[in-house]
Structure 1
């Protein structure tokens, strides 16, 4: 092992921290001027004390609480013992569950409406993090952050955001305000506008429409993220329609509807049906058709015939401008036309269109994988109640091929998945479900693809449904480890931790972060298998450096805390100061390169090897002398009376449980001895 490089303390601490928060234009105002910051921007005040007393030295606006300073943050403040206060008053809409997270050195306190929620208030050199889940009432509230820096560099960060998990956030958004509707008689379009929601987690708005005398359906007319919507689908038949708008958030909660907005369409002349068309070859709900009319009609009827020339029979009536023929026969061609009747009793007919309905293609809803309880993959789909009731579930396993750079199919099969009828509530569609219990967890570089087909009485198979992809494996990271300690010894740093409680643990990863002497580079220390909660870092020179160690639990699906968070300090970590065992005698010259010293596999001896430097041209070497540092005598002492003739040597007298340092010199024919090259190795306690 090559000798460790030495760096000075000055070089190791020469770090300049930059302010991360966004400084706004109001920062240019003098301390005596009134500063107003538009919500949700913070008002920031700098105090030359830690009690936040007296007149602030400076007041400005800050887009976020996320700063670091290595000295005085502003003119007029000391580099130590100063305070910074951020405050913002904003509308939290309907309120609900939020997560507030604070991180910083020294003291940080977080208040909501004057009530303290987070208290990290002590003079420390390390950083702390605290995350808090709390429910904020609806309306306007004030958030305040008090931060003090007693000594050293300063670092502070605060975030707050709604918790948008459906099981956590059950608060409905506020109803959109400012609803207004206009109707253009020339175009027949209705335009709705409303005010933007003050909610922080609003995902969009749903527009609902109903005809007078009916109720709003469960499906919205439109979904949008804008604050306006133009409805161009109104039938121009002199009828009244009513609209309402509802806001929905990222958790799926939907607000109450706005006040109903009425629109009465104009009544044109006798209807003429045009543009009758089949909307694809749908086999879920049936054959879907759509048409237009130049005049507002009171009623439409859909007619079907097995021949273009007829006779036609009515298959659906009391329609608007679309219909679905649920009873259309599979595997046959049907002919359609539409009859439209207005208030005066006039009836017009469309042209004839045809459709060859294929075998029913299921509408694949997807599924849920349940690897945590060995339950397999739950699958579900919809079909028409008139379609065949036999199905096939197909599955492909795909894995990444490094050679081709693509995901190749490694297995394709029809899985023994017995479908069961689960729901007929809609009437126009039946829901089926089954569970693939034959699936096994896919590797980290693989996944499964499913699709469903229907099979008729003749054994013919439909086209495949849409596909769904599943990475069948646990997606939950093991919890952060506890009881992590680092102990300095003469043979390295001994790291211990408590065993992870997860049943699917695969291994532990241990890392070392040099925090003082060698910058901030991260070194992989090693891997420990399940049941082994100890590792010794003996590959680092015991020279009194300070280090932070991290240990991370990784499960069989590749999940770990280090993968699921951005801050490495979420992983179990601890710090240690190594022993400084370096000899007090410096090595005069490094004429030997590649001198390596390492403990034998059974920790019973130390093996040394070396080779000559390319720049050394001596050809009269008769042997080598091996020395070992003796702390008791404070000197390098030879290990053999006679020179070593080869390029290797095994020291079987090395004491266990400490670190040893060696010199190797070359002996010339004239009896002179070269300058030494050095190396070191840690020798752990020998196994019993």
Structure 2
């Protein structure tokens, strides 16, 4: 049997242009395939039996000749194949230059061999070398895919080139795609769903060709995908979904008349309308060069719509319709090219364009294009907000891939991806024309990363933003080594407060824990005792501290350490140890206690004690009405506060008005474990305050007006008062608030407040540091006569 011969016997020995997947065949007048071949032609199969005769090629005898077949083809997804060779004399088979069959010897009988192998995906080259040394000559070779579910596990590749067009009049969706390359292909399965359905069900149809027409009713959008299936039942992945409202092509129909009546002679698709048949017919069976019509139509989603330009030209008649409304009408038989461009506004959403062309006689040509107008002065229509936005986080690669559905507008420029960290602001991170973007190098700190997407058109109009997409990153960051403090719990006899800094507090508030360890002695050791764990659900003082209740403060030495474990389970190193020796012995009484009157109170000072780490408490000694002794610490503050860089050492101010009173104070020292001597054992000092009162404040007030917040004026910076006898105060029309100026010996106005029935009054007052402010409130009648007065003195201590 001889394969199809493309080049005739007298053809030159140069390479022949062979059909796709046909062999190139070369005849050599030697068995080494050297020199120029005596003839080159094409062959569709390798199946020759020359017997004892020569091959019939000029220059070749019946002995000592060689024939080489070569084919380069796309095997698609590849898979298991069977290579079978037989003949007399020598046969060798190669795949991409690697020998797979070797029957290379001179013999008088037929030899054969079959090998099973896997052909990789893609394009590969097969070569078959045959030589006849002497005697009968014959050769046969075939390569065939091995099928069967137990043998072939390789699925076909996903079909490519899928396009869709709609005949709006008949409600038909016409699809076509590129043929797969696999040799064992059985056909294609067509799937359909609506946008509301999340997946495809059973196939709508199975076809062996590369096109399919589906009839649908109504305005429902349908999504389609195609999958290839081979003879072993392996199914490819599906194509990207297509719909007539996505990015369709034109449906094209050829008619053998100018009225578009009857059944079209051919229906196919077209990506653009640009034809020039001249005086020839369109090469469609049944359609001549005159009196024919071609109709193109396309139904698509224009997104937000906007300004468009429709441009048509050609010979003879051209009409353009938008949703059935004629926009261009060039409808007459002529011998010259006619053209027209119109500007239209396409509304938002899905619309149908139809172009009707007819040629009555003479030359035939037609061209049409619809393009968005993108000048910023013309296009004010923003794209629609992108839909279908989602994000997939890949912990292994520290990346987040965002994807979204493509917008339908034809004038899109770029999608904008904006990113924000935690609760902070957003910034544009990427501009891309694609519908996905991957953010790499995300931190592994457990903090959320947020995204949203906009799209802009070529006129610069920006869409709305998608909903925010959030990625919660994995947390592998070990918390910072915590700081540690140990102090006496105020008010307790034998409890310690184990404290830490704000970073550790933050870890607790976000779901972490603190483990508190304790050892007896001055080292923490390798195996300290876990005495407690603190979480955000623990009782107070969580999240600030942990309370360790000891049996007693008896001079035993303890060493503490803490570890922080965050919400993701990452644990910090142990803190630096803190060693303490709490006891119950109070500091000795202070010595050298003195009192110095000032304009803002009395400054107490004492000799530096031998013991370090002390704090101090001062109090006024007062005599109660029943004759017993009481203590009042209001206004007294430790001037040795380390936060005040200019603080006086071993001193304390007890702020109070400089109103000439004789006062007695005591001061006690407090050690870190809360120990202090009893007040009756503390030294005291007595002094007379400065008396800076104005003369009118030294007597008794009328009693009609009362300061309501005498103890809080300094703290609040506000003075409150009221009249105790509304009837007596009925004639008062306003209240004047004044402050005494000791330098000038006069009162200065602070503010004036109009009266109102049944109310109390308040005004803000600014109290200078280091002074006593003597304030006067006067109720004034309509004629300006004072009717009631109250005085108040308030000191604001300058504690340095």
Please say whether Structure 1 and Structure 2 have the same fold, judged by a TM-score greater than 0.5.
no
Q: TM-score, normalization: structure 1?
A: 0.35
Q: TM-score, normalised by structure 2?
A: 0.30
Structure of greater relative contact order (alpha carbons < 8 Å, 6+ residues apart) = 1
